[in-house]
Amino acid sequence: MANNVIFPLELLNRPVAERLAYFENFTVAHPKLREVYEVLMRTISEPAGASFIFVYGASGVGKTTLRKRVEQKLLEKALSDLETDRGRMPVVGVEAVAPESRNFNWKDYYTRSLFALEEPLIDYKFDYGVRGIYRDSLGQLVVESKVVAPALRRALESTLRHRRPDVFFIDEGQHLAKMSSGQKLQDQLDCLKSLANMTGILHCLLGTYELLTFRT
């Protein structure tokens, strides 16, 4: 028995493939991950004016699993509210994609964030109010390539205020530090901080130890 989980003895009589599948899909929460989970949930519930939460660790340590567990819990807690407020999204997440060049692509980030904030109920779709951002006849979001980054940012600000998530997760957050020469790391963080402040939405960055440069 480990972490109050009892191994099913009947599995020993099952085919090899089934036994292997059991262990491949089995996870045990590390005490440190449980501790981080509790701190993260408490901070999301009571951010005390914070704009950011940083969750960092080595690759494969369980950050994405932690994020999914938090997302599941936040969705469960919000179920009753969603019955009357169908336009709200309790939690949203996006991955900060590593740029092909050394410059982080904010236009791509804003676009991905807008798609992440979409939801399937057409009756509760949001009008972005930006030319070049609309929904087609099937209700699918369309973002034309001609839309510039500032317009995408304004659309994202409006959508975040409308959806009102408890937290906006940014996975692989260390990629925000990718920038061309002459740029300052503080500029990257200020851009994200202003977005968090103007919308009142807490942002949680998950990534490797490279995130420590942002904290400093």
Each residue's pLDDT tens digit, 170-190: 999 999 888 765 567 788 888
Angle (deg, nearest 10), helices 185-199 and 149-163: 40
Residues 198 and 157: beta-carbon distance below 8 Å:
yes
Q: What is the pLDDT of residues 141-168, one digit of tens each?
A: 889 999 999 999 999 999 999 899 999 9
Predicted confidence band of residue 86 (pLDDT cuts 50, 70, 90): confident
> Is this model's pTM higher than 0.85 or not?
no
User: Stretch 15-24: mean pLDDT, rounded?
Assistant: 86
Residues 149 and 106: beta-carbon distance below 8 Å:
yes
Instruction: Give the DSSP letter of residue 20.
Output: H
Query: Residue 29's pLDDT is what?
Result: 61
User: Stretch 33-38: mean pLDDT, rounded?
Assistant: 86
C-alpha–C-alpha distance, residues 142 and 90, integer Å = 23
User: Stretch 63-78: mean pLDDT, rounded?
Assistant: 90
Query: Residue 211's pLDDT is what?
Result: 87
Query: Residue 2's pLDDT is what?
Result: 43
Min mean pLDDT across 11-15, 38-42, 164-168 is at 11-15
C-alpha–C-alpha distance, residues 191 and 138, integer Å = 34
Helix and strand element counts for the chain (H, E): 7, 6
Smallest Cα–Cα separation from 116: which of 208, 201, 207, 211?
201
Amino acid sitting at position 204: C
Query: Residue 65's pLDDT is what?
Result: 86
Q: Which residue has the tokens 């699918």?
A: 140
Supply the mean pLDDT for the chain: 85
Predicted confidence band of residue 43 (pLDDT cuts 50, 70, 90): very high
Min mean pLDDT across 38-47, 98-107, 115-124 is at 115-124
Assess whether pLDDT exceeds 70 at residue 37: yes
Tell the CATH topology of 29-215.
Rossmann fold (3.40.50)
Assess whether pLDDT exceeds 90 at residue 41: yes
Question: How much of the chain, in percent, has pLDDT values that exceed 70?
Answer: 88
Relative to beta strand 203-207, strand 167-171 is: parallel
Query: Residue 61's pLDDT is what?
Result: 80
Assess whether pLDDT exceeds 90 at residue 216: no
Query: Residue 25's pLDDT is what?
Result: 75
